[in-house]
Amino acid sequence: MKRNVYLEDKPLEEALEEYMAHLARVGALAPGESETIPVEDAVGRVTAAPVYARISSPHYHAAAMDGVAVRAADTFGASDAIPKRLTLGAQAAVVDTGDPLPEGCDAVIMIEDVQFIDDHVFEITAGAVPWQHVRVLGEDVVATEMIVPANHRLRPVDLGGILAGGVTEVAVHPKPRVALLPTGTELVQPGAALKPGDIIEYNTRVLGAMVAEWGGLPLRREITADDYDALKARLREALAECEVVLINAGSSAGREDFTTHLIGELGRVLTHGVAIKPGKPVILGEVEGKPVVGVPGYPVSAVLAAELFVKPIIYSKLGSVPPAKEKTEAIVSRKIVSPMGTEEFVRVKLGQVGEKIICTPISRGAGVIMSMVRADGMLRVPRLSEGFNAGQAVPVELMRPLEEVRETTVITGSHDIALDVLANHLRKKYPNATLSSAHVGSLGGLSALKRGEAHCAGTHLLDEETGDYNVSYIKRLLAGRPVVLVNLVYREQGLIVAPGNPHHIRGVEDLAAKGLGYINRQRGAGTRILFDFKLKQQGIDPGDIRGYEREEYTHMAVAAAVASGSADAGMGIRAAALALGLDFVPVVEERYDLCIPGEYFDTPYIQRLLEIMTEPAFREDVRALGGYDLRDCGTIMFDSRG
């Protein structure tokens, strides 16, 4: 089969506008024939027609208070000085809230304002005005009045209003049926035994949940192998059953990427290739008057493509428009470079530090689903921009509530697994609070504090001359800045190696002597500084270490590289080695501290963490990771506040 290539590289706005206009012309965006369902089952559904009240609510004059129903005219003139006496039966009647107002009565006096003289006679000291404490007929809704209009997404309170109007069934737009076709010979179902080359098929689960959230009905199909005829048959089946079809993967230009040719054979391809990153190879097509979208296989690309191109289709078929994204202004923590001509969507972590909300970009890879899990917001870099400078104010689309962002403790600097445990215990004790950690290395963390971009920084910087940790760096890099240094853990640092230590590595000297592959940490990381110190002690030139320039940003990423066989060793903590079933060659015990600017020490951002650090359950969970000692956890190691 002829290899596919991108048809074009359209700007996002042009591609979306052209696609929606074409779908509108062929009737693909019109809602289906309405269906009538019980009101009790209608929350979240969209009305296909206005709903009118069949009865008034209330449908009688009703007492709004417990008390005595009276004729207001009979009460005129009553006062503290001249109380007025009325008789039950002839002039009044006792009523409870919700009772019909007796014939001839037009007001209710609260029982607290009534003084009974005997069983039939009572006294009042203030007159009542007409219709006082009375719910008049139709106060809530009048018969024939419109309760909700067409194309209205029904909320729980709407159901009450409709039922109060005497309506028990409502006409709604049908949920658009969306077929989800996962494709790829390499795909396996979740829970299957994995072998190299297998990829767990979770994209259609994610896409299905998104479709359901928007109001559609996702119908996920079985995995289709990379076979043109098989995919063609599956697409025909989907078109016969559904109003929208999403083909996941096969949208690029590889040997087994059939989607473009298939859509073109059966219908029409409007766009193949949009100037966005990630998600460029998305295919926008139409077959038999129905939208067929080729969704890229990488998970971040798939999610973004669905959000941009499928969401408006679902909403249109429900007679509505997608709600606007909540936004906030944030300060970019570090420079973001983006290619000119492509609109890039950058996932970011957010947190309020002082009066500013800081946004820090996280992994920009299209295949990193955890970048979506961890993201607090989405930053759009315009197509005709080359990015943003550090310190620049930018609009960010929120992916979690702004109030939650404001309750986030922002930790930047060195990575440690104990921070994940700390974040979990913080969330358990304070459900409104979160911890956000950015892994930029110890030096990067102290630099972030200097710029006012974090509440604290994780650091484990060894002073080669004194053998002490962190203090000399803080005095130099944060000179004149009041800070508090609090210990989190002592931890074992060493060489993470394959199970059984097949290369018999005893120390850093063996890496160069045996020509072994190494995986390093990024510049500025305390672990890298330690490794360089050990090389210096042994008189080894870093250039003699194969893989010295290959960098990762976390201990777990280093461990993963060793576990995969792409590296023979890497410097990291024992807990990371144990987590992946690897062996460990201890090199040193080091102190890992949290450096806290003085102005934040007494704030909830920090005090909540210090409280968690004292709790036995937290300490037990950290010790269970292996390689940790918490003898000084929570102890102030240095304080320059004066």
Asked whether residue 233 falls in the same domain as residue 303, the answer is yes
Asked whether residue 460 falls in the same domain as residue 586, the answer is yes
Sign of CA dihedral 60, 61, 67, 71: negative
Amino acid identity of 631? R
Predicted confidence at residue 252, as pLDDT, reads: 54
Looking at every residue in the chain, the average pLDDT score rounds to 93
Predicted confidence at residue 6, as pLDDT, reads: 55
Sign of CA dihedral 381, 385, 387, 393: negative
Predicted confidence at residue 4, as pLDDT, reads: 47
Predicted confidence at residue 250, as pLDDT, reads: 67
Number of domains in the chain: 5
Predicted confidence at residue 401, as pLDDT, reads: 92
Residue 60 and residue 541: Cα distance in Å, rounded?
93
Q: Is residue 527 part of a domain?
A: yes
Which residues of the chain, if any, have pLDDT below 70?
1-7, 250-257, 366-367
What are the residues facing 368 on neighbouring strands? none
Asked whether residue 463 falls in the same domain as residue 573, the answer is yes
Q: Is residue 364 part of a domain?
A: yes
Asked whether residue 474 falls in the same domain as residue 615, the answer is yes
Q: Quote the DSSP letter at residue 621.
A: H
Q: Is residue 243 part of a domain?
A: yes
Asked whether residue 446 falls in the same domain as residue 399, the answer is no
Q: What is the pLDDT of residues 451-468, one digit of tens each?
A: 999 999 999 998 888 888
Residue 596 and residue 129: Cα distance in Å, rounded?
65
Residues 6+ apart with CB under 8 A from 247: 181, 183, 231, 235, 259, 262, 263, 283, 292, 293, 294, 295
Instruction: Tell me which H or E stretch contains 284.
Output: strand 283-287
Q: Which of 381, 406, 431 is the endpoint of a domain?
A: 406
Asked whether residue 563 falls in the same domain as residue 618, the answer is yes
Q: For residue 231, which phi and psi values (nearest 5 degrees)? A: -65, -35
Asked whether residue 498 falls in the same domain as residue 628, the answer is yes
Asked whether residue 85 falls in the same domain as residue 181, the answer is no
Residue 180 and residue 187: Cα distance in Å, rounded?
14
Kindly report the CATH number assigned to the domain that includes residue 73.
Answer: 2.170.190.11
Q: Is residue 492 part of a domain?
A: yes
Kindly report the CATH number assigned to the domain that includes residue 356.
Answer: 2.40.340.10
Asked whether residue 41 falls in the same domain as residue 168, the answer is yes
Asked whether residue 181 falls in the same domain as residue 266, the answer is yes
Within 10 angstroms of residue 279's Cβ, the number of other Cβ atoms is 26
Asked whether residue 124 falls in the same domain as residue 160, the answer is no
Q: Is residue 421 part of a domain?
A: no
Q: Is residue 599 part of a domain?
A: yes
HEC profile of 227-267: CHHHHHHHHHHHHHHCCEEEEECCCCCCCCCCHHHHHHHHC
Kindly report the CATH number assigned to the domain that includes residue 245.
Answer: 3.40.980.10
User: Pairing mode, if any, of strands 62-63 and 115-116?
Assistant: unpaired
Q: Is residue 24 part of a domain?
A: yes
Asked whether residue 565 falls in the same domain as residue 480, the answer is yes
Q: Quote the DSSP letter at residue 196.
A: T
Q: Is residue 417 part of a domain?
A: no
191, 149 in Cβ contact below 8 A?
Answer: no
Residue 520 and residue 569: Cα distance in Å, rounded?
9
Range of the domain at 167: 35-57+140-172
What is the pTM assigned to this prediction?
0.85
Q: For residue 512, which phi and psi values (nearest 5 degrees)? A: -75, -40
139: left (phi over 0), alpha (psi -120 to 50) or beta: alpha
What is the token pair recorded at 318?
A: 């429900």
Distances (CA, A) of 58 to 95, 107, 273: 16, 16, 58
Residue by residue, DSSP assigns 309-341 as IIHHHHHHHTT--PPPPPEEEEEESS-EE--TT
Query: In 3-state terms, what secondary structure has residue 539?
Result: coil
Q: Which of 356, 391, 406 is the endpoint of a domain?
A: 406
Residue by residue, DSSP assigns 287-314 as ETTEEEEEE-SSHHHHHHHIIIIIHHHH
What are the residues facing 396 on neighbouring strands? 328, 379
Predicted confidence at residue 598, as pLDDT, reads: 96
Query: In 3-state terms, what secondary structure has residue 514?
Result: coil
